[in-house]
């Protein structure tokens, strides 16, 4: 058992939702940076390695602040912690490859089948049942994603299968994060995530390594790990305050963040369908937030 303190779960959905939104903002910064760097000629697996080595350095420092005692790095849920790390590492590597061939908004849209999978997995794995309004909100958000993606009018590309893997992996990752929250500390989960990704991706990074050609590219390369650590720190802590079913729909805002960065950096202006889809996505998140707030109020005893 690790000596790092494990905070207890709390019912503070609004705080959890705020952390989730901030986490997906950081994740959009990762994908935007990766798209920039792959267009500059840097290999996708090199970028995936740098995303995890920075994460590993930060998380190791945080765990070791209280001393380099080996007991601080132990956990009795090591198998689940490593499975969680595998899910995210595979998702990251394949997503970075998909970004070579697909626009940011397409990869994000396909990935956001994951909230429905989270809803389905939450009951058998976590015992968390989603009520009819929450299910409606999740489905409404997914409709918004389909409006943006327009899959039936687009030519299929094999890289879309990589993005679908990301959807399944992220659904399982989110479910495992909730299962481990309150049992394994955030610092320990972060440490093993960084360690796993660094060790697994190191050989491919050495084999494919290409030096950036500009100072900006070097800065973005280094910041990948910082963005990754910050995003997953917030995402993991958010699961202390709200259920996976409550939090996952807010991942739809990732698509909105990517649309904004695509416009600011590459001048891509979202068309009418993208704007309509984004409005539906935001509406679904607000619907779930309102229902969550009402349920929290009803559960609060008078005078509290």
How many domains in the chain? 1
Q: What is the pLDDT of residue 114?
A: 72
Residue 120 CB contacts under 8 Å (≥ 6 apart), including other chains: none
In a domain, residue 1? The reply is: no
290 in a structural domain: yes
The pLDDT score that the predictor gives to residue 40 is: 92
Instruction: Establish if 144 belongs to a structural domain.
Output: yes
Residue 255 lies in a domain: yes
CA dihedral (255, 260, 261, 267) positive or negative: positive
Q: Is residue 69 part of a domain?
A: yes
- What pLDDT is recorded for position 172? 86
Cα separation, 62 vs 222, in Å, equals: 18
In a domain, 91, yes or no: yes
Distance in angstroms (rounded) separating the CA atoms of residues 108 and 94: 13
Q: What single string gives the DSSP state of each residue in 33-69?
A: HHHHHHHTT--HHHHHHHHHHHHHHHHHHHHHTT---
Of 286, 300, 230, residue with least CA distance to 14? 286
Residues of the chain with pLDDT under 70: 1-10, 66-67, 113, 115-130, 149-156, 244-245, 248, 289, 291-304
Between CA 160 and CA 138, with CA 107 as vertex, the angle to 5 degrees is: 105
What's the start-to-end Cα distance of the chain, in Å?
Answer: 35
Give the tens place of pLDDT for each residue, 209-248: 999 999 999 999 999 989 988 988 898 788 778 876 677 6
In a domain, 304, yes or no: no
Query: For residue 275, is it within any domain?
Result: yes
Distance CA 88, CA 85 (A): 5
pLDDT at 281: 75
Give the model's pLDDT for residue 219.
96
Residue 57 in contact with residue 194, Cβ under 8 Å? yes
| Domain range for 91 | 13-298
How far is Cα 71 from Cα 58, in angstroms, rounded to an integer?
A: 19
Tokens of 241: 């305050």
């Amino acid at each position: 058992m690790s000596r790092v303190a494990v905070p207890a779960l709390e019912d503070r959905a609004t705080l959890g939702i705020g952390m989730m939104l901030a986490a997906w903002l950081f994740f959009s910064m990762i994908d935007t940076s990766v798209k920039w760097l792959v267009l500059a000629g840097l290999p996708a697996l090199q970028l995936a390695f740098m995303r995890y080595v920075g994460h590993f350095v930060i998380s190791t420092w945080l765990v070791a602040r209280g001393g380099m005692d080996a007991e601080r790095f132990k956990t009795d849920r090591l198998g689940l912690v490593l499975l969680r790390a595998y899910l995210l590492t595979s998702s990251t590597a394949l997503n970075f490859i998909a970004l070579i061939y697909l626009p940011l908004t397409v990869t994000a849209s396909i990935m956001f089948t994951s909230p429905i999978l989270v809803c389905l997995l939450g009951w058998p794995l976590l015992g968390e049942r989603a009520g009819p309004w929450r299910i409606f909100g999740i489905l409404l958000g997914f409709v918004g994603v389909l409006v943006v993606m327009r899959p039936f009018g687009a030519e299929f590309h094999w890289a879309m299968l990589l993005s679908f893997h990301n959807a399944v992996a992220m659904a399982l990752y989110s479910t495992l994060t909730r299962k481990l929250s309150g049992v394994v500390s955030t610092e320990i989960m972060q440490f093993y995530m960084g360690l796993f990704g660094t060790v697994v991706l190191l050989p491919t990074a050495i084999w494919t390594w290409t030096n950036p050609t500009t100072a900006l590219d070097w800065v973005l390369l280094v910041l990948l790990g910082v963005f990754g650590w910050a995003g997953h720190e917030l995402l993991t802590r958010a699961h202390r305050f709200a259920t996976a079913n409550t939090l996952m729909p807010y991942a739809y805002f990732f698509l909105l963040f990517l649309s904004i960065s695509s416009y600011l950096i590459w001048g891509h202006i979202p068309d009418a369908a993208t704007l309509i889809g984004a409005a539906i996505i935001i509406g679904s998140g607000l619907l779930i937030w309102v229902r969550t707030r009402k349920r929290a109020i009803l559960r609060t005893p008078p005078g509290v």
